Structure 1
Amino acid sequence: MSRQPLQVGQTAPDFTLRDQNGRDVSLSETLRDRAVLLVFYPFAFSGICTGELGEIRDDLGRFESEALTTFAISCDPMFSLRAWADQEGYFFPLLSDFWPHGQVASDYGVLDETAGKAMRGTFLVAPDGRIAWTLVNPSGQARDLTGHEEALLRLTSA
């Protein structure tokens, strides 16, 4: 990893990536309506990643609401993400940061350049485009996906 992960208060870099269905998804366009939780993960079909995204799928109301939407992002190609989403029943956006390889993960400071994969970086982006909360775990360590909820409450009650 060549950059440090973005911190609370910094401006989130905008991006447009393709989801598992081939649709372009833009951070800035989504922020017009609500906050966005960015969940970077190393690889589709891997054990810890399947568990983490399964947690999002199984408790989708915590991750998709009028105040929040969630984007899961990896360096996998779109077609791999589609196969994984179909197999696991993921009906939230899985975004492909495949080409230029890992550019968005790099912009957020969570690209492991040696392995060519994203680290387990999680960023809550407020509607004003600033990072409101963040958590970065090493690739082999599952993250606690509950931490964003307190930060989201602060955003929506302000």
Structure 2
Amino acid sequence: MTAVVPRVGSQAPDFTARNQHGEQVRLSEYRGRRDVVLVFYPYAFSRVCTSELGALRDRPELLAEAEFLAISCDPMFTLRAYAEAERLEFGLLTDFWPHGAIASAYGVFDAERGCAVRGSFVIDQAGVVRWSVVNAIPDARDPDAYAEALAGLRPGLG
């Protein structure tokens, strides 16, 4: 890991990246509009990553709660093929070049492997990190944890 994981309550590091369609996505553009969930994952087409992202795909009620952005160091064209093959309709962002820059800013880049570990961050509409979890590469995340974290942003609505 190349940097410190942002603390809950701190401002989320801003970034700009391309999604699987080549469109520019800037984190700060969601401020004042939508909560964001960043889901860093190691590799497109790998078993655990595919099961994790598929679990999110299969929870439309969860995806409706926030903007989900899944980030890996895979190239854009790989992400496009992956999204089509797995029917992933949320944003898949490429952290390919500069390699791992976004994952590094969030403290979840494994420089030895050249990929992100499984880090997740819930960022509120003010751009503040409200929840995070970082798992080792083999350890899948529970989609229910995202639902709980998002419900915590608006107590009384969940």
Question: Which aligned runs of 4 or more in structure 1 are off by greater than 3 angstroms?
Answer: none
1:27 to partner: Cα distance: 0.7
The root-mean-square deviation of aligned C-alpha atoms, in Å, is 1.3
What is the aligned counterpart of 2:86 among 88, 91, 100?
88
What is the rounded CA distance, in whole Å, between the counterparts of 1:29 and 1:63 in structure 2?
18
What is the rounded CA distance, in whole Å, between the counterparts of 2:84 and 2:149 in structure 1?
31
3-state SS in 2 of match to 1:9: coil
Q: Percent sequence identity over matched residues?
A: 49
1:116 matched residue in structure 2? 114
What is the rounded CA distance, in whole Å, between the counterparts of 1:44 and 1:56 in structure 2?
15
1:74 matched residue in structure 2? 72
1:115 to partner: Cα distance: 0.6
Structure 2 regions of 5+ residues with no counterpart? Answer: none
For 1:111, give the aligned amino acid: F
For 1:122, give the aligned amino acid: S
Q: With structure 2 as the length reference, what TM-score do the two structures score?
A: 0.94
1:149 matched residue in structure 2? 147
Q: With structure 1 as the length reference, what TM-score do the two structures score?
A: 0.94
Structure 1 regions of 5+ residues with no counterpart? Answer: none
Deviation per CA, 1:78-126, whole angstroms, max 9, x where unpaired?
Answer: 0000001111111110000110001000000000011110010000001
**Aligned counterparts, 1:3-152, within 5 A:** 3-65=3-65, 68-152=66-150
1:55 to partner: Cα distance: 0.5
What is the rounded CA distance, in whole Å, between the counterparts of 1:31 and 1:90 in structure 2?
24
